[in-house]
Amino acid sequence: MVRATWAIGLLATTLFSVPAMAAEGKAAAVKAAGFCAIQDSKACQDAVTPAQVLSHLIEGNQRFVSGARVNHRFKKQIKATAHGQFPLASVVSCIDSRVPAEIVFDQGIGDLFSARVAGNIVNDDILGSLEYASQVAGSKLIVVLGHSSCGAVKGACDAVKLGHLTQLLDKITPAVSAIEETGDRSSKNYAFVEKVAQRNVEDTVKRIREQSAGLRELEQSGALMIKGALYDVETGKVTWLN
């Protein structure tokens, strides 16, 4: 009996202690190095704060603008992340072909959750996606990324009606109404369209906080940050709001 207990103890030690030690070793290595080259473990995700993740994306966009992007070695990233995902941030951005989140923030496989919808609005399904990303999968930053010359924002300014697009543009209409402009309030007025785009990002950030109790509480606890930003399609530069 004593021998059997000892044997079980040895088995448990063999089975559980070695992976635990490996995880501790990984966490220590990650803490020493800061961000992981590949976002392939919970230790990588746990080692950084929401503010550090924000700085990471700011620096990524600076690399993108300057042309000094890192070599992401996608094949290696695919292999390293195949067993699970531990992304740092979620980005809600427009479907616009000029604004791919991973590219403009110089990120690779396994780094970002990416929700793309015309006009970077939120509905219940996108809120559910963001809740999964942060409350289940541990993502520490939500970025709502609008952009200049946005077709959806222009459509909302012109009150376009077209199939299912009509109900989507209705979500941008409050931003159109909120901007004071006594002159041309159509898509032909570039300055007006850009003001509406910014207001629409601010409205989306507000809706996330108002409509998702889980994300609001996570932000209030300091485990999550929610930021608005605007991408300039002429320069590639991201400007951060609030």
Binding residues (CB under 5 A) for Zn ion: these are 94, 96, 150, 152
User: Helix 213-220 and helix 190-211: axis angle, to 10°?
Assistant: 90
The residues with which 230 forms a beta bridge, in sequence order, are 146, 239
Cβ closer to Zn ion: 115 or 152? 152
Cβ closer to Zn ion: 152 or 196? 152
Cβ closer to Zn ion: 96 or 219? 96
Cβ closer to Zn ion: 138 or 236? 236
Would you say 119 and 82 are in contact if contact means Cβ atoms under 8 Å apart?
A: no
CA Rg value for the chain:
22
- What's the min distance (Å) between Cβ of 239 and Zn ion? 16
**DSSP per-residue codes, 210-227:** HH-HHHHHHHHTTS-EEE
User: Helix 124-131 and helix 213-220: axis angle, to 10°?
Assistant: 40
- What's the min distance (Å) between Cβ of 18 and Zn ion? 50
SS3 191: helix
- What's the min distance (Å) between Cβ of 156 and Zn ion? 11
Cβ closer to Zn ion: 12 or 191? 191
- What's the min distance (Å) between Cβ of 98 and Zn ion? 9
- What's the min distance (Å) between Cβ of 88 and Zn ion? 24
CA dist 150 and 158 (Å) reads 12
Contacts of 160 (CB under 8 A, 6+ apart): 166, 169
- What's the min distance (Å) between Cβ of 50 and Zn ion? 26
Cβ closer to Zn ion: 116 or 209? 116
Contacts of 223 (CB under 8 A, 6+ apart): 50, 140
CA dist 230 and 242 (Å) reads 11
